[in-house]
Amino acid sequence: MNSPLTLSGKDKIPGDIALWFFLCAELAVFGLLIAGFSLVRLRQPEMFQAGLQELHVSAGVINTMALLTGSYLVATGVNKLRIQGDGCARYFFAASGCGMIYVISKVSEYQTLYSNGYSLHYDIFFGFYFFTTFFHFLHVLAGMMILIILGRWLKKTDSDDEQKLKAAESAASYWHMVDLVWIVLFPALYVLR
């Protein structure tokens, strides 16, 4: 009867509880970066407006689509694992592939900006832009590796279903956290300008 829309049990935390301390700490760090970005934008509106115009909306849209699709695949994989018990590894590999689309798009965006003379030290806006997005980029890379390791482990392991589900939910929670951060970064960088 379990489904992503109706989990059984009361007060159930998906994945390992220790992971949630880490995820909350990660969200706090990203929250501080976003708060810093917003505060400096108030003080330097012209610089931020000029900087934002240099970013390509299409890159932001591709990144958003890739991460949302990855999240959908991860959630579907966890759902399949819960109901069928196997055959879900391909969803985690596919989600990792979506992460690769994000990586390629982001690297190409960095390359274009760098060739136009913009770098981490260009001004405060690009300092924030490169630092925050690169920090997020590293999280996507880590998420991709986690999903690949999870998929391979699920194919090989003889562990019981509960252990498999716990591992899958933990990896999924990390991936969704990365997606959640991007949901906020996307309008900040590509829409509100």
Partner 1 sequence: MSSMAGTSLKTLWLLMLLLTLAVVLRKPEHLILLAVAAWFAALIKGIWIIRYFMEMKQAPLFLQRILYGWLIITISAVTLTAIWQL
- Residue selected from 104, 107, 145, 184 as contacting partner 1 according to rule CB under 8 A: 184
DSSP designation for 6: B
Give the integer Cα–Cα distance in Å for 118 and 114. 5
Please report how close the Cβ of residue 44 comes to partner 1 at its closest, in angstroms: 10
Give the integer Cα–Cα distance in Å for 120 and 127. 4
- Give the binding range for partner 1 (CB under 8 A) out of 74-82, 128-136, 147-155, 156-164: 74-82
Q: Does residue 65 bind partner 1 (CB under 8 A)?
A: yes
Q: Does residue 78 bind partner 1 (CB under 8 A)?
A: yes
Q: How many CB atoms lie within 10 A of CB 114?
A: 13
Residues 59 and 66 sit within 8 Å (Cβ to Cβ): no
Give the integer Cα–Cα distance in Å for 177 and 28. 12
- Residue selected from 101, 142, 149, 180 as contacting partner 1 according to rule CB under 8 A: 180
Please report how close the Cβ of residue 4 comes to partner 1 at its closest, in angstroms: 5
Please report how close the Cβ of residue 165 comes to partner 1 at its closest, in angstroms: 11
Residues 71 and 179 sit within 8 Å (Cβ to Cβ): yes
Q: How many CB atoms lie within 10 A of CB 13?
A: 10
In one-letter notation, the amino acid at residue 84 is Q
Give contact residues for partner 1 (rule: CB under 8 A).
Answer: 1, 3-14, 20, 24, 27, 30-31, 34-35, 37-39, 41-42, 45, 48-49, 57, 60-61, 64-65, 68-69, 71-72, 74-76, 78-80, 83-84, 169, 172-173, 176-177, 179-180, 183-184, 186-188, 190-193
